[in-house]
Chains A and B, each alone.
Chain A
Amino acid sequence: MKNIIISATILATSLVLGSTSISTQAAEYKVDVEGAHAFVQFKIKHLGYSWLLGEFNTFDGNFFYDAKKPNQAKINIEIDTKSLDSNHAERDKHLKGNDFLNVNKFPKANFVSKDIKFSDDTNAIITGDFTLKGVTKTISFPISKIGEGKDPWGGYRVGFSGYTSLKLTDYGIDYNLGPASTHVEMALHIEGVRL
C-alpha cells in the first residue's frame, strides 16, 4: 500500500513537472547545428571585381520565438572562429591569423539579441550585441522568417535569415584589402528545432 502511494506520488509529480516544462519551453528552440540546417556565411569583395565567400562551420545557439508574441523573441549565437572555411587552406590560415581574426586569442564570436521589432508576420529588425575579435558593438539588422511548422519526423521547426554588413576596422581588422573590401557581408540562415 505504502509503495503504491509513493509510486502514485512520483507519477503525479513527474506529470506536473513534465507538463510545466513543456508549457514554459514551448517556444524555445535549439539551432539545428546537428543536422546542419543552419549557416553562418560571409562574403567580401575581392579587389572589387568579384565576391569571395566563406563560412564558419562550427557554431551553436538557441532562440525563443512565439508567433503569437514575436516581439518577445530572443536569440543568441556563438561562433567558433577557428572553424572559418573559405575553401582554401592557405587563405583560411591567413584569415585566422594575426592579420585578421586572431582566433587563438579570440576563439569565439557571438551575438546576443536585446530587442526585436516585427513590422509584419515575417519581417523584423533585430538589435543586439555582437562580439568579434574582442570588440563588442550594438548592431541592428533586418531578419525575416522563412517558415515554420511540423517536420516529417515528429518535431517542430522554424527558420529565419538575417543579413548585415560589418566594417572590418570596427572590429580591429585593419589589414588593407583594398578600397572595395572595407566591409564584410554576413548572412545568418538558421533553422531551430523546438525543444
Chain B
Amino acid sequence: MFKNTSTSYGYISIIIHWVMALIIFCLFGLGLYMVELSYYDAWYKGSLDLHKSIGMVLVALLLTRICWTVFNIKPKSAVINASKFETKSADYAHIALYLLMTMLMLSGYLISTADGRDISVFGVISIPAFSIAIENQEDIAGSIHNISAWSLVILASAHGLAAIKHHFINKNDTLKRMLKVF
C-alpha cells in the first residue's frame, strides 16, 4: 500500500512524485515572474522569500524521496516487451531528472547563502550557510540555477509527454501506475 512492490508504486512514492512535480512547476513560474518585478512592486521582496522557503521544502522532499527510492524496490517496467533501448533511455532520463533537481536546489541554496546568510523557511526555521564561499559564488550559482531550472522543466515536460504517449498510444499502465496503487 505505502511501499513499492515489484509491480506497483506505493502511495508514499506516488504522493511525493506529484507534490514535487506541482511545486517544481509552480516555483519555475514564480522564479520567472519574480525576476521581472520592479523595485516598487509590493511582491518584490515577498516573492523571493516565498521562492526560497518553498525551495527549501522541496529540498526536504527530494532528500526524503531519494532515501525512500533507495530503500524500496523499483517496480518493473509497465511496458511488456519493452526494448532494451527504451528501458535504458527511460532509466537515464530518470537519473537526469534527479541530477537536475539536485543541481537546481543546491545552486539555489548557494546563491542565497553566498554571503554567509541563513535561509529562512517561512520565518519558522533557518537553514545555515556553509562557512566556505567561493568568489562570485552568487553569479556562478545563479547561472547554474537558471540553466538547470530550464533543463529540468523541459525534461520533466518530455517525461510527462512520454507518460501521456504510453497511456493513449501504447495503451499501457505506465501513467496509471503513478496515479493509484495496483
Contact = CB atoms under 8 A, between A and B. Distances in A.
Contact of B142 (A87, A88, A93, A178): A93
A56 B121 CA distance: 31
A90 B117 CA distance: 10
B115 A176 contact: no
A65 to B, nearest CB: 32
A92 B137 CA distance: 10
B83 interface: no
Interface in B10-67: 38-40, 48
Interface residues of A, number: 14
B136 interface: yes
Chain A interface helix/strand/loop/mixed:
loop
Contacts of A97: 142
A191 to B, nearest CB: 24
Contacts of B138: 89-90, 92-93
A94 B142 CA distance: 10
B115 A88 contact: yes
Interface in A59-103: 82, 87-90, 92-93, 96-97, 103
Interface string A158-195: 00000000000000000111100000000000000000
B101 interface: no
B130 to A, nearest CB: 12
Given A82-B136, A82-B139, A90 B40 contact: no
B152 interface: no
Given A82-B136, A82-B139, A96-B139, A89 B40 contact: no
A96 to B, nearest CB: 6
Q: Count chain B CB atoms within 10 A of each CB in A90, A96, A97, A103 and give the residue with the most.
A: A90
Interface in A113-136: none
Contact of A87 (B111, B112, B115): B115
Interface of B: 38-40, 48, 111-115, 117, 136-139, 142
Across the A-B interface, the 6 shortest Cβ-Cβ residue pairs:
A89-B114, A89-B115, A89-B138, A93-B138, A93-B142, A177-B39
25 contacts: A82-B136, A82-B139, A87-B115, A88-B115, A88-B117, A89-B111, A89-B113, A89-B115, A89-B117, A89-B137, A89-B138, A90-B48, A90-B111, A90-B112, A90-B138, A92-B115, A92-B138, A93-B111, A93-B114, A97-B142, A103-B139, A175-B38, A175-B39, A176-B38, A176-B39
